[in-house]
Amino acid sequence: MKLTIRAIAFAGAATSALLATIPAQAQAPLKIGFVTSLSGPEGVIGRDLLDAFNLALKDGGNTMGGRPVQVVTGDDQVKPDVGRQVVDKMLDSDKVDILTGINFSNVLLAVVKPIMDSGKFYISPNAGPSQLAGKQCNAHLFSVGFQNDNNFEGLGKYLKEKGLKKIYFLAPNYPAGKDMLTGFKRYFGEPMQSEVFTAMGQLDYSAEIAQLRAAKPDAVVMFYPGGMGINFVKQYAQAGLMSQIPLYTGPGTVDQTTLGAIGDAAVGMYTGAMWSEFLDNAASKKFAADFEAAYNRIPSQYAAQAYDTGHILQSAVDAVGGKIDDKAAFRKALENVKFDSVRGHFKFNTNHFPIQDYYLVQVEKDSKGRLVSSLREKIMSDLADAYSGDCAMPAQ
């Protein structure tokens, strides 16, 4: 009995000692949940996103609006169901304040509802499915990368202006693949010579490449992110087609996450992109230099997007003095965010998707013999996506 009383007394003393320390701490930490693909072949994308996001946080001294920042990471394994579990855990047990990080559209579409139901904000560094830009737009969802159609809208306009007629299109059979084709056709304005959708994760494209060679197109436009792109480009080059039929692609296919593995086979390929490491602005140059100094490799477009995501959060949370629980104020701060984008100029449209420029870049070797995406020309100015008209942005 005596022992119990002493135990309670001790517990009481300990608790009050703990309580006494709380006022000394300036403010509760801001917990950011970063869900991305960290394992498997797509782990390389998640790593670039997370590294660049952390680099941006470092620029702000790992403090936002006076609150220390704590990043909680989770691995979605590129599986919508796993992503859902990770998000549920972050919301229920980690009690994160803001979520970000997802690279694949199918994963994002699976987790939007629980995040929005919880009232938290989601800032998308990469995935930009058309659904979320249009009818299912949301007051608490912001997309920093692009709307999926955008890069291919730029390519469509460019190839139309070049006067090409026969376009052979290939992509994996999933939401982003469909979005890219829709975007391309919107600005190209004419039917494709052929539209081929292949299984997700396909290894061998010899059959598809034989078909397209026989069709003799003016250009091949394809979207194969990650390992699929490595397979396709290697096999396209080995079939001797790289010098015969120009090959165009969009985000995440031929960039610093895959160029090392594709090797010289990729030289000469074109990509529609919203960022290149050669963009001539101070923020971009600082980012490219800092990233290479910190991680000893050239950043990809993914990294550029995540870096901007970090700076957007920094600026918006600073603007509300860390009080993100005032949701209307925080949303307003995000909508009117002012920051130095690596893309030169950037702003959010009414549907919380970007309005920005797009460029044509081409793979070549730099003076150190490394494969880089050199800037060729601007192909779109201040492009807004086609879905913002369908978005009736809720007031809350």
Partner 1 sequence: MTFSLFIEQLLNGVQLGVMLFLMAAGLTLVFGIMNLINLAHGSLYMAGAFFAATVFQISGSFLLAVPIAVALTALVGGVVERAVLRQFYARSHLDQVLVTFGLILVFNDAVRLIWGVVPVPLAPPEALAGSVHLFGGVDYPAFRLAILGVGALVALGLYFVVSHTRIGMWIRAGASNRPMASALGVDVELVFSLVFSAGAGLAGLAGLMAGPITAVQVGMGEPILILALVVTVIGGIGSIRGAFVAALMIGVGDTFGRVLLPPALGSMAIFMLMAAILAWRPKGLFPVHG
Q: Is 170 in the site for partner 1 (CB under 8 A)?
A: no
Instruction: Select the residue interacting with partner 1 from 118, 182, 211, 281 (CB under 8 A).
Output: 211
DSSP code, position 267: T
Among 179, 208, 277, 308, interactor with partner 1 by CB under 8 A: 208
Instruction: Please enumerate, as own/partner, the contacts of 7-15 that have beta carbons within 8 Å and a separation of 24 or more.
Output: none
What is the pattern of x (binds partner 1, CB under 8 A) and - over residues 212-251? -xx------------x--xx--xx--xxx-----------
- What H or E segment, with its residue span, contains residue 261? helix 259-262
Strands (E), the chain: 30-36, 63-64, 67-75, 98-100, 121-124, 141-143, 167-172, 194-198, 219-222, 247-249, 270-273, 347-348, 354-365, 371-383
Q: Check residue 54 for interaction with partner 1 (CB under 8 A).
A: no
305, 144 Cβ separation under 8 angstroms: yes
What is the DSSP code (8-state) at residue 177?
Answer: H
Of 23-31, 40-48, 101-109, 142-150, the window that binds partner 1 (rule: CB under 8 A) is 40-48
The whole-angstrom separation of Cα 227 and Cα 159 is: 26
Distance CA 379, CA 157 (A): 7
Which of 164, 192, 261, 329 lies at the binding interface for partner 1 (CB under 8 A)?
261
Query: Can residue 361 be called a binding residue for partner 1 (CB under 8 A)?
Result: no
Give the per-residue contact string, 320-339, with partner 1 (x = CB under 8 A; - = no). --------------------
Is the CB of 116 or the CB of 196 nearer to partner 1? 196
Residue closer to partner 1, measured from CB, 69 or 209: 209
- If the CB atoms of residues 44 and 102 are measured against partner 1, the closer one turns out to be 44
- Print the binding letters for residues 130-169 with partner 1: x by CB under 8 A, - otherwise: ----------------------------------------
264 near partner 1 (CB under 8 A): yes
Contact at 8 Å (CB) between 165 and 218? yes
How far is 179 from 361, CA to CA, in rounded Å? 21
Q: What is the DSSP letter of 91?
A: I
| Binding-site member from 108, 265, 273, 334 for partner 1 (CB under 8 A) | 265
Q: How far is the CB of 78 from partner 1 (least distance, A)?
A: 10
Contact 164, 189 (CB under 8 A): no
* Long-range Cβ contact pairs of 15-19 (< 8 A, separation 24 or more): none
Which C-beta is closer to partner 1: that of 173 or that of 381? 173
Question: Rule CB under 8 A: is residue 72 a binding residue for partner 1?
Answer: no
Residues forming contacts to partner 1 in the complex (CB under 8 A) are 39-41, 43-44, 47, 173, 196-199, 201, 203-204, 206-208, 210-211, 213-214, 227, 230-231, 234-235, 238-240, 257-258, 260-265
